[in-house]
Amino acid sequence: MQDRAKLENLEKISRLIRRHCLVMTTRAGSGHPTSSLSAIELMAGLLFGGAFRYDPDHPDSPNNDRLIFSKGHASPLFYALWAVAGVLGEEELAGYRKFDSPLEGHPTVAFRYTEAATGSLGQGLSIGVGTALNAKYLDKLPYRTYVLLGDSEMAEGSQWEAMQIAAHYKLDNLIGVLDVNRLGQRGETMPGHDLDTYATRVAAFGWQTIIIDGHSYPQVLDAFEKALGAEEPVMIVARTIKGKGVSFLEDKEGWHGKTLDENELAKALAELGEIDTSVRGHISMPEDLRPVVIEPRKAPGRNFAAGRPIATRKAYGKALARIYPQYPRIVSLDGEVSNSTGADTFKAEHPERFFEMYIAEQNMVGAATGLSRSGKIPFVSTFAAFFSRAYDQIRMSRYSDANIKFAGSHAGVSIGQDGPSQMGLEDIAMFRAIPDSVVFYPCDGVSTDALVEKAAAHRGIVYIRTTRMDTPIIYDSKEQFEIGGSKVLRRSEADVATVVGAGVTLHEALKAFDDLKIEGIAIRVIDLYSVKPVDEAGLMEAAKATGFVITVEDHYPEGGIGEAVRSALGNTGLPVHSLAVRKKPKSGLPGELLDFEEISRKAIVAKVKEVLWKRRRKAVDIPGSRG
């Protein structure tokens, strides 16, 4: 039996929150008031009904429960909740969606009470998986993660990926709140108000389900109380009304993402009745506990045998295991290919820091965002090609200021017989496009090890591209590598061209150097291991000294190394010739495919000679000399 005074206070809070949602969206001239109105009792009951534990004065406290609005378009409700909690005033709410306000159209971490940026639907539950994994297995704290979900986003496959893995890891500290308001953006959702369908599907994935009337405070409070005692993940399936509280909005199509004008606002506020603008909601305080902390220790030195080739994908796993003592916040997530990506080496040495995420890349990246927001350093690995499935999660993680390291193996046509479905050929372009990202492409075991360590030390998104085939060790174990650097491996005063490679093609460039040297042609060879940021000064110096540059990459030309080099050289007028994968790949031996795509040593030699011949021909082709 719920306390009458408590219920009456929650009803007052609901009316104030409704007012906030309507007023702030009308003042902004944009937003989603009706999507916010449907979830008010659910969220006010959570925050102010006793289940949620949070210290508003210390939003970074590791003991706080987490609240993630997967339906990020309900941001008016999110901000209104914190206003009622006393951390936002009317003036701040009036800044909603304005340029200089942290109250953005969809929640971002510019607002300090936001756990992660949302708004691209289908991602919040995966982020919640990450924060719940952190609580249960890493920090070992009793906080819970609550995720508000919209019914429209339940059509996203990523939701079901998250539900599978949550049940697998027995995340009894993860609670989903499904706002079934029936209406999506353009009309009714597939199940409409059929709550049993949602509950049956969710239960089939190993979750406990609780069906309620989402506007009944007694049912809402009882549901959260039951969820606290669950031994598996919980989904509260709530029947709600879109636009609840305003008669001309309730359950009406055509109002999604539409605000009220001033006359409609006045009419809506009149319907809400008397509103106590001084009412405040009380949030229960969490326990004051300390997370498990592993103190950093000095990592052992690099250990690569000279003359013993190793695939950079294998060197990646070795490096991760080596540096872990120095970076004990590292966790490894892999998409069920750890014996191919090299992550199994880390798993063998630190199984408690490894999470198998199976063939579900969208959820894997979302969970990495949650782990990152919990203070961990996730290293996420799979085949480079398969990151394309999770690109939306990758780009959204940037808006959460995520600190994630991505390792993509099996890059390029050099993987050989597996064929084009397995070849990462767009990955450099994908990760270069992420603001402030770093893109590494090591060529041997030593450079891989060094760049994995640089990635761990760097705050932000880093992509490490690795190769399937074994490659020779060309660097001394003590060689240093910097973000934004490059290495000049062959150089002389007689150089007539600069060849820029990375990864597999760097070795092809070195072979081409030897072939051309026999013919008396000297070229400069640069290892562009840092594709972003790129070594503008080094490339400029080499281009000016040799007259032209040839880039060679096991990647499509769009967005790859060639375009990075052209960007670095800017408007200098110095020519850049690009060798890249331009034909539809096929199965074959690595050498055959490098030749077929014209990115092998033979192609480099031929291109250097072709450009030299054209330049010399141009130099002697004086107008009028043919007559």
Q: Tens digit of pLDDT for each residue in 353-399?
A: 999 999 999 999 999 999 999 999 999 999 999 999 999 999 999 99
Is 294 a member of any domain? no
Q: How confident is the model at residue 617 (pLDDT cuts 50, 70, 90)?
A: confident
Domain check: are 157 and 28 in the same one?
A: yes
What does the pLDDT read at residue 2? Answer: 73
SS3 content of the chain, % helix, strand, coil (to 5): 40, 15, 45
Rounded Cα distance, 498 and 524, in Å: 5
Q: Is 285 domain-assigned?
A: no
Task: Express as a percent the part of the chain with pLDDT over 90.
Answer: 96
Residues 450 and 513 in one domain: no
Mean pLDDT in residue range 119-147: 98
* pLDDT tens-place string over residues 533-548: 999 999 999 999 999 9
Q: Are residues 514 and 433 in the same domain?
A: no
| pLDDT tens-place string over residues 474-508 | 999 999 999 999 999 999 999 999 999 999 999 99
Average pLDDT, the chain: 96
Give a yes or no: residue 228 inside a domain: yes
User: For position 404, what pLDDT does the model report?
Assistant: 98
DSSP conformation letters of 476-518: -TT----TT--EEEE--TT--EEEEE-THHHHHHHHHHHHHHH
Give pLDDT, residue 607: 98
The yes-or-no verdict on residue 596 having pLDDT over 80 is: yes
Judgement on whether residues 14 and 67 belong to the same structural domain of the protein: yes
Residues 153 and 42 in one domain: yes
Q: Is it the case that residue 305 has pLDDT exceeding 90?
A: no
196 lies in some domain: yes
Is residue 201 predicted with pLDDT exceeding 50? Answer: yes
Would you say residue 509 lies in a domain? yes
Both 162 and 235 in one domain: the answer is yes
Both 433 and 466 in one domain: the answer is yes
Task: Judge whether 429 lies within some domain.
Answer: yes
Query: What residues are labeled active site?
Result: 361
DSSP codes joined into one string, 400-452: TT---EEEEESBSGGG-TT-GGG-B-SHHHHHHTSTT-EEE---SHHHHHHHH
- Neighbour-count burial for 8-23, b at 16+ CB within 10 Å, e otherwise: ebbebbbbbbbbbbbb
Q: With bands split at pLDDT 50, 70 and 90, how would you rate the model's confidence at 626?
A: very low
Whether the pLDDT of residue 627 is over 60: the answer is no
- Determine the Cα–Cα distance for residues 220 and 241; give it in Å rounded to an integer: 15
Indicate if 75 and 155 belong to the same structural domain.
yes
Q: Among residues of the chain, what percentage have pLDDT more than 70?
A: 99
Q: How far is CA 430 from CA 341, 443, 555, 578, in A?
A: 19, 20, 11, 19
**Are 14 and 85 members of one domain?**
yes
* Residues 499 and 458 placed together within one structural domain of the fold: no
Residue 622 has pLDDT above 80, yes or no: no
Residue 195's domain spans which residues? 4-272
CATH assignment of the domain containing 21: 3.40.50.970
Q: Please tell me whether residues 573 and 464 are part of one structural domain.
A: no
Checking if the pLDDT of 573 tops 90, the result is no
Residues 154 and 148 sit within 8 Å (Cβ to Cβ):
no
Residue 297 lies in a domain: no
Q: How far apart are CA 13 and CA 48, in angstroms?
A: 9
Cα of first residue to Cα of last residue in the chain, in angstroms, is 107
Cα angle: 539, vertex 543, 548; to 5 degrees: 130
Number of domains in the chain: 3
Task: Kindly report, residue by residue over 394-448, the tens digit of the pLDDT.
Answer: 999 999 999 999 999 999 999 999 999 999 999 999 999 999 999 999 999 999 9
pLDDT of residue 447: 98
Structural domain contains residue 166: yes
